[in-house]
Structure 1
Amino acid sequence: MKTKTDISDLIVSTDTLATLLGFTRQRINQLAKEGILEKQAAGRYPLMKNVQRYIEYLRTGVKDKGDGDEEAQAKYWEEKALHEKAKRETAELKLGQLKNQLHDAADVELVMTNMLATFRSRILSIPEKVSPKVLGVKNLSEISDAINTEVLEALAELSEYDPGMFAGVGVDETEDGQPIPEDLEIGGSTAEIDDQ
C-alpha cells in the first residue's frame, strides 16, 4: 500500500475532522454553519484548508470568509488597537499615581474631608479664643486685629497644600502586589477631628 504524502487536496468526513480537532460531529457542523469551516459537500471537508481556517480563527477570532473579507480583519485590528490603547492608558494612570501626580478619588475625598473638618473646627473655635482677649477692650481696632489674626491663622492652615498628604492614604500596593498598611497621618497630624 502506497502512503499519500501530499494532503493539500485530501477530503475527510465529518467524523474524521471531528476526531482530528477534538470536537463532536454537531460542533463541526455548527462551525461550518458559522463560516469558520468550509464544507465541500455534505459531510465532506477539505482537511488542510479547514485546519488552516480553524487555526486562523483561534489566532484572530475572525471567521475566514475568503481572501476578500478585509472588513473582518480590519475590525479585528481595530479592536486590538482599542485594547492596546486601554492598556497604555491604564499604565499611564498607574505611573501618575506612582509619581504622586494622580490620586484616587477616594483618597482625595478622605484628605479633603479631614482638612475641611479641621478647618471648620478651627473657625468655630474662634469666638471662644477671641472672647477672652477682647473682653473689656473698647478700641474697635484692637478687637478687629484679634479676630483678624485668628481668621488668618485658620486660613493659612487651610492653604498649606502638600501632595504628600495624599500619599499612603487608603491601601495601596507595592510593585510586587503586596498591600501597604493604611496610613492616616495627614500633614503631620492625625486625621481625627478635634472638637475644641
Structure 2
Amino acid sequence: MAKPRGDISDMVVTTGVMADLFGFTQRHITRMVNEGVLERQAPGRYSLLTNIKRYLEFVRTGHVSAEAEEAEAKYLEEKALHEAAKRKMAELKLAKQRNQLHAASDIELLLTGMLVTFRNRILGIPQKVAPKVIGVKNLAEISDTIASELLEALIELSEYDPAMFAGGDIVEDEDDPAVQGDPESGSPAS
C-alpha cells in the first residue's frame, strides 16, 4: 500500500486520476478545461492542488475565475476570427468557381498575350498597307486604307471573351456548404 503524502502541492496527475477524483468521465474533465474550470499543465497532466482549489471555487461561486473568463472570451474571439477567415476563403473560392474572380497570374498571362498580339498587329500594318497604297495619289483614299487597318487591329484588341479567363483547375468540394448550389442563380442546392 502506498504511503500517504503530506504535501500534494507539486503532485501532477493524469486525466484519469482527475476523473476518478471528481467522479466524472475523462471527456467531462477535458470539457471543464475548455470551459476554464480546470487547468491543464500539459496534455493529460494536471496539477492536483491547483485543480482541487479551482474546482472548489467553481462549486462555491458557480462561475469560473476572472482569468478563466478572460481566457474563454479570448478563445471565443479567436474562434470567431477563424470562422470569419474560413467564410472569406469559401466566398473567394465560390467567386472563382463562378468566374467572378481570377488569379493575378492568369490576368497577367492573358493581357501579355493580348498586348503582344496587338503590338505585332500594329507593327505589321505598314507591310500590309504599303502594297495597297502604292501608286494611289488621293490622300483621302490613303488615309481611309490606313484607318481601316488600324480600326481592324483595335477591334481585334477589343474582342474580350470571358472564356479566356476560365480555368480548369477548380475542384468542387461537395462537403463545403459555401460552394454548393447553383452557380448561375446563387441559390443553395435543395
- TM (norm. structure 1) is 0.59
Could you tell me how far apart the structure 2 residues matched to 1:20 and 1:75 are?
A: 28
Could you tell me how far apart the structure 2 residues matched to 1:38 and 1:49 are?
A: 12
Query: Where in structure 1 are there 5+ consecutive unaligned residues?
Result: 1-10, 22-29, 53-65, 178-196
- Larger RCO (CA within 8 A; separation ≥ 6): 2
Alpha-carbon displacement from aligned partner over 1:131-174 (angstroms, at most 9, x marks no partner): 00011111110111011001001100111112111112xx6132
Alpha-carbon displacement from aligned partner over 1:105-151 (angstroms, at most 9, x marks no partner): 11111111111111111111000000000111111101110110010
Residue in 2 that maps onto 1:81: 80
Alpha-carbon displacement from aligned partner over 1:42-62 (angstroms, at most 9, x marks no partner): xx8639949x9xxxxxxxxxx
Residue in 2 that maps onto 1:137: 136
Letter aligned with residue 172 of structure 1? D
* Identical-pair percentage: 56
Letter aligned with residue 78 of structure 1? E
RMSD value over aligned CA atoms? 3.5
Query: Where in structure 2 are there 5+ consecutive unaligned residues?
Result: 1-6, 18-39, 59-63, 175-190
**3-state secondary structure, aligned to 1:17:** strand
Aligned CA distance change for structure 1 residues 48 and 132 (closer, same or farther; 3 Å): same
Residue in 1 that maps onto 2:52: 46
Aligned CA distance change for structure 1 residues 19 and 145 (closer, same or farther; 3 Å): closer
Letter aligned with residue 46 of structure 1? I
Cα shift at 1:175: 1.8
Aligned pairs (5 A) from 1:1-196: 17-18=13-14, 20=16, 31=41, 37=46, 40=49, 46=52, 49=55, 66-69=64-67, 70-168=69-167, 172-175=169-172
**3-state secondary structure, aligned to 1:46:** helix
* Residues 97, 103 of structure 1: 8 Å contact kept: yes
